[in-house]
Amino acid sequence: MIEWGLTYAQLVTSYAILGGVYALTALGLSLIWGVMRAVNWAHGDLLMLGMYVAYWMVILSGADPLISALIAFCLLGGLGAILHLIAIEPVVEKPGGHEATLLTTLGISLVIQSIALILWSPSPRSYDNIYKSIYLEYAGIRTSLAEAIAFSLSLIAVFLVDQFMRRSRIGKAIRAVSQNPIGARVVGINVSRIRLLTFALGVGLAGVAGVLVSTFYPNIRPLAGYIWDIASYVVVIFAGLGSIYGVIFAGVAIGTIEGLGSIFFSNAFRNILTFSVFLLVLLLRPQGLFGKAMRRV
Amino acid sequence: MRILEVNDLDAGYEDLQVLWEVNMRVERGEIVSLLGSNGAGKTTTLRVIAGLIRPFRGKIVLKGREITGLPSHQRVALGLSLVPEGRQLFPMMTVMENLEMGAYTPRAREKLEDSLEWVFSLFPILRERRNQLAGTMSGGEQQMLSIGRALMSRPELLALDEPSMGLAPKLVIEIFRTLERMRKDGVTILLAEQNVKAALDISDRAYVLETGRIVIEGASSELALRDDVRRAYLGM
Ligand SMILES: Nc1ncnc2c1ncn2[C@@H]1O[C@H](COP(=O)(O)OP(=O)(O)O)[C@@H](O)[C@H]1O
Ligand SMILES: [Mg+2]
């Protein structure tokens, strides 16, 4: 009985740790949603590219994955900027433009997956690194150093983004555009530039998340992205807009719920529990657990 | 000296034309009213002037320079600000943060401290409320904040879209008095209003829009005496 309990605790811990990374991907999605009311269906695929950045850096140059995190932030940030100019900016201000982004980003998602399949084949990969061979143990629960680092760095990244949003001129402009795009334009903010920067930032964060998971994830493959889309969107809606720390809590909560789901249902059906919680939140508190109801002034 | 010129302006939304051959001018130091009943096209005119929508045809000239194709943020940098319909504040930011956002352009940021003192002297209530979230303030306070935020950009020309909307008569008088003080401080004012009496009282000249066309223009004091204006807009 005690052993069973431990196994469960172990499983839930692993998922809760994944939840930290969900928070990071969800943060990018919620920034993008806030600023341009666009849904980015390619977010998980961009995270997948982050995994490959780490993989190829290790294979080609032996670079430490933590250095790859910075490289992936820049590379994917740049790619994000290009994708924004192709898929979002041309449609977002047109009538029905927000709905159109569903299609354009889905298109980007398919293109990224196809190119990744052609370049890297469908077979899963992983790479050796020092972090996944070291284990930490607390009260009988073991986690690899890789997972602990992924969790802590995700939270640190979320914290840094929060500081950036509060203190920097661009961060304040991003908040202004999410709260009132017309207000932003009349104070002299170049709103299309802010959209570009926000999309690039969100995608860059997905790249970082990809690198962080890749250190312990055995399944680096071209179709690894979609699981992250689903989980991260559930986190975004669970947390609601406007609270960065809500995103952290919601990420870990959704991770934990997935862990519980994999115990009580089979692993394949763990999403059932996640979605049930998700529907419950939508019914009872549509602004999210932490989101303040957005009031138009 | 002419600060704004609007020439043969046609504008609207998608394929719906709202404005027809609108011509206006504003001289530096004036208060000019743009009057008209609901749906006449006042908001559309100000949106085109501020660069929030593109006109179908026609020209906007600011300080002798054509700005028709310029994006809105560059117009703010050139000294043209709009207090938009519905105030459009940042509801989850404090009064202070809203004012700081008003000084977003580099030119305005240099004068931030100075501008704050100026805005607080015009609207003392904003100093008291500086740590309150904009979304939690009363309608009148929000209108003052929206005007204050626009002043933070240090505009030479300030366009206001129905600042009296939804406010009690006493507050309207207070805000209009402040507009006169702003003019003394060197701000030229273009005021779109349905409150024709109050607007004619403080403005030098006025234009009247009807279904998207300018039908009357002239000195405000003369318009206030005209029978057609009195009957149609002053209820006499
Ligand atoms: N965003 C919009 N899309 C389509 N039509 C609009 C829009 N805004 C205003 N209109 C129409 O344009 C006309 C003029 O409106 P508006 O400029 O708001 O007038 P006013 O400010 O004088 O009340 C009205 O017929 C209105 O229905
Ligand atoms: Mg109007």
How do residues A224-235 score in pLDDT, each as one tens digit? 988 888 888 888
Q: Which burial class, exposed, middle or buried, applies to A230 when counting CB atoms under 10 A from its CB (0-12, 13-18, 19+)?
A: middle
Q: Half-sphere exposure (CA, 13 Å, Cβ side) for A164?
A: 13
The ipTM (two decimal places) reads 0.95
Q: Which residues of chain B have pLDDT under 70?
A: 236
What residues of chain A lie within 8 A of the CB of B138, using their CB?
A: none
Question: Could you tell me which chain B residue has the CA closest to the CA of A167?
Answer: B97
Q: What is the pLDDT of residue A279?
A: 79
Q: Do A187 and B77 touch (CB under 8 A)?
A: no
SS3 A65: helix
Q: Do B76 and A186 touch (CB under 8 A)?
A: yes
Q: What is the pLDDT of residue A284?
A: 77
Q: Kindly write down the DSSP assignment for every residue of A138-159, as one continuous string.
A: ETTEEEEHHHHHHHHHHHHHHH
> B87 with B146: CB under 8 angstroms?
yes
Alpha carbons A249 and A289: distance in angstroms, whole number: 10
SS3 B82: strand
Domains along the sequence of chain A with CATH: 2-284 (1.10.3470)
Domains along the sequence of chain B with CATH: 1-79+155-236 (3.40.50.300), 88-154 (no CATH)
Alpha carbons A274 and A260: distance in angstroms, whole number: 9
| Beta sheet of B188-193, edge-to-edge order | B80-83, B157-161, B188-193, B31-35, B205-210, B213-219
Q: Rounded to the nearest 5 degrees, what angle is found at the Cα of B10, between the Cα atoms of B68 and B88?
A: 65
> B83 with B161: CB under 8 angstroms?
yes
* C-alpha closest to that of A188 among B157, B64, B76: B76
Q: Do A186 and B50 touch (CB under 8 A)?
A: yes
- Whether B41 lines ligand 1, by a CB cut-off of 6 Å, is yes
* C-alpha closest to that of B158 among B168, B173, B148: B148
SS3 B22: strand
Interface mutation vs chain A, best among B16, B47, B49, B72, most A CBs within 10 Å: B72
Q: Kindly write down the DSSP assignment for every residue of A173-233, as one continuous string.
A: HHHHHHH-HHHHHHTT--HHHHHHHHHHHHHHHHHHHHHHHHTT-S-B-TTTTHHHHHHHH
The minimal CB distance from B90 to the residues A179, A188, A190 is found for A179
> Is a pLDDT exceeding 70 seen at residue A291?
no
- Whether B36 lines ligand 1, by a CB cut-off of 6 Å, is yes
What residues of chain A lie within 8 A of the CB of B90, using their CB?
A: 175-176, 179-180, 183, 297
Q: Do B91 and A179 touch (CB under 8 A)?
A: yes
Q: What is the pLDDT of residue A182?
A: 97
> Is a pLDDT exceeding 60 seen at residue A176?
yes
> Is a pLDDT exceeding 60 seen at residue A297?
no
Task: Encode pLDDT of B93-133 as tens digits.
Answer: 999 999 999 999 999 999 999 999 999 999 999 999 999 99
> Is a pLDDT exceeding 80 seen at residue A286?
no
Torsion of CA B1, B4, B5, B9, to 10 degrees: -170
How, if at all, do strands B65-66 and B57-62 pair? antiparallel
Q: Kindly write down the DSSP assignment for every residue of B178-207, as one continuous string.
A: HHHHHHHTT-EEEEEES-HHHHHHH-SEEE
Write down the residue that tokens 């928070």 correspond to.
A23
The single-letter DSSP state of residue A86 is: I
Retrieve residue B121's tokens. 């002297």
A98-109: average pLDDT: 93
A113-136: average pLDDT: 92
Chain-centre distance for alpha carbon A133: 25
Alpha carbons A237 and A27: distance in angstroms, whole number: 11
> Is a pLDDT exceeding 50 seen at residue A49?
yes
More confident of the two residues B2 and A270: B2
Question: Could you tell me which chain A residue has the CA closest to the CA of B109?
Answer: A169
- Whether B18 lines ligand 1, by a CB cut-off of 6 Å, is yes
- State the distance from the centre of ligand 1 to the C-alpha of B73, rounded, in angstroms: 23
Retrieve residue A286's tokens. 């549509």
What residues of chain B lie within 8 A of the CB of A35, using their CB?
A: none
pLDDT band at A296 (very low <50, low <70, confident <90, very high): very low
Task: Establish, for the pair of chains A and B, how many residue pairs have beta carbons separated by less than 8 Å.
Answer: 83
A174 Cα to chain B: minimum distance (Å): 11
Closest ligand to C-alpha of residue B209 is: 1
List, in sequence order, every beta strand (DSSP E) within chain A: 135-138, 141-144
Would the pTM count as exceeding 0.80?
yes
Q: What angle in degrees, to the nearest 10, is found between the helix axes of B169-184 and B112-122?
A: 140
Cβ–Cβ contact B148 with A under 8 A: no
- Bridge partners, A240 (sequence order): none
> B123 with B144: CB under 8 angstroms?
yes
Q: Do B52 and A182 touch (CB under 8 A)?
A: yes
Q: Do B88 and A172 touch (CB under 8 A)?
A: no
Alpha carbons B160 and B81: distance in angstroms, whole number: 9
* C-alpha closest to that of A115 among A169, A42, A22, A202: A42
The single-letter DSSP state of residue B18 is: E
- State the distance from the centre of ligand 2 to the C-alpha of B167, rounded, in angstroms: 15
> Is a pLDDT exceeding 60 seen at residue A294?
no
Task: Encode pLDDT of B29-55 as tens digits.
Answer: 999 999 999 999 999 999 999 999 999
